Amino acid sequence: MIYLDYNATAPCAPEVVEAMLPCFGTVFGNPASLHPYGRSAALAVRRAAMATAELIGALPEQILFTSCATEGNNHVVRNAPPEGEIVISNAEHASLYSPVRQHGHMRCVAPRIAEILGAVGPKTVLVALNLANHETGELLPEPETLYPILRERGVALHFDATQAVGRIPVDVRRIGCDTMAFSAHKLYGPKGVGVLFVRNPDKFAPLLLGGGQQEGLRAGTLNVPGIVGMGKAAELAMEKGCPSPALRDRFEALIAASGTAHKIVAADRPRLPQTSCILFPGQDGAKLVDLLGEAGVAVSSGSACSGGGPSRILAAQGVDPLYAAGALRFSFGRDTTAEEVDVAARTLLELIANHQHPGVIDVGNY
């Protein structure tokens, strides 16, 4: 099976699994306990916080371990004053879009700096944006320009960096933000653990109340194995560096050379080096995902969290529904080989050529 859906999740790196194993045996203590078993677990958590902080240019004290980026995004939105307005872009992941919409005071604009700043008004309390789009791979342009301006206006800035960390350089000292969320499982770490960077923890209210863990910001017994896995994944990300666009470019060149009708989303704009979102007009993306799976190639028709249906992201970009219905997302990983890329491209092109059935494509309530 050829796996090309790393934006949905990456497999746990062997080094990560090895680092986690002692947490199920000798280092099993509760890090809140004061005896040696607890102190061993607390030390493991501290080391993971240091590695995670180093990955993004933060301090260990600014690292809050969560269950996932979704929790981090929700935590930030819940910290926004209920009467205040939140500005987001129309390209946000559901884990930001949904809680902001529920908040009730939302302004949604295109993910361009001028429009984002233009939407900030006297009632705005938070601007929340993704650094890299989960479906298209498109990067937020010039994110470092936002923080100085918003800070002067007294507006908090949050980044969802789930798809960005480990794929492009992300340093909170350079880009500037008040909070930033991401997940371990996109970084070859375990599922069920995430990170929320909080620049000023003393000014941040907890989402979960209880025993006062993590300096009172998130109650509940710490997921020590997951946190240790996150720390090791962060170390590996720094060691191996960001991915090259070579495999993505090779794949797209093969599709282009075939003459098959298609459009590459954000091909002329900065985007993630390992993500390719391609639209095949007149095709059914969900059906192609099934056929590719049967042929031994795992890809996506969009975000794994989107729940299916027409893409809100592509609709916001004004993409023709017949093109959007044939959207496929290919995301490449550390273990992807050039041979796998060639086989995947050939398999895809053969499926499209052999399944040209004229008729009406159901694009839903696009």
CATH topology of domain 14-240: Aspartate Aminotransferase; domain 2 (3.40.640)
The CATH architecture to which 243-354 belongs is Alpha-Beta Complex (3.90)
Say how far apart CA 299 and CA 326 lie, in whole Å. 13
pLDDT at 363 exceeding the cut of 90: no
The answer to whether residues 291 and 355 touch, using CB atoms and an 8 Å cutoff, is yes
pLDDT at 239 exceeding the cut of 90: yes
Which whole number is the average pLDDT over 52-70?
98
Confidence of residue 362 (pLDDT cuts 50, 70, 90): very low
The answer to whether residues 228 and 50 touch, using CB atoms and an 8 Å cutoff, is no
Q: What is the pLDDT of residue 211?
A: 87
pLDDT at 303 exceeding the cut of 60: no
Say how far apart CA 291 and CA 300 lie, in whole Å. 12
The answer to whether residues 67 and 218 touch, using CB atoms and an 8 Å cutoff, is no
Q: Which residue has the tokens 């704009």?
A: 269
Q: What is the pLDDT of residue 122?
A: 96
Mapped onto helix, strand or coil, the DSSP state of residue 100 is helix
Tokens of 229: 């896995």
CB-side exposure of 269: number of CA atoms within 13 Å? 15
Q: What is the pLDDT of residue 2?
A: 98
What average pLDDT does the structure give for the chain?
93
- Residue of 149, 167, 165 whose CA lies nearest to 157: 149
Please write the tens of the pLDDT for every residue from 312-361.
Answer: 888 888 888 889 999 999 999 999 999 999 999 999 999 999 876 544 44
**Active site includes 177?**
no
Q: What is the pLDDT of residue 310?
A: 65
Specify the DSSP element, H or E, that contains 174.
helix 172-175
Q: Give the rounded percent of residues in the chain with a pLDDT score beyond 70.
A: 95
Confidence of residue 302 (pLDDT cuts 50, 70, 90): low
**Residue extents of the structural domains in the chain:** 14-240, 243-354
Which whole number is the average pLDDT over 196-208?
94
User: Which among 23, 68, 242, 305 is annotated as catalytic?
Assistant: 305
Contacts of 83 (CB under 8 A, 6+ apart): 105, 123
pTM: 0.93
- Residue of 336, 319, 330 whose CA lies nearest to 278: 330
pLDDT at 58 exceeding the cut of 50: yes
Please write the tens of the pLDDT for every residue from 140-184.
Answer: 999 999 999 999 999 999 999 999 999 999 999 999 999 999 999
Please write the tens of the pLDDT for every residue from 2-17.
Answer: 999 999 999 999 999 9
Please write the tens of the pLDDT for every residue from 71-123.
Answer: 999 999 999 999 999 999 999 999 999 999 999 899 999 999 999 999 999 99
* Of 211 and 14, more confident: 14
Say how far apart CA 159 and CA 182 lie, in whole Å. 9
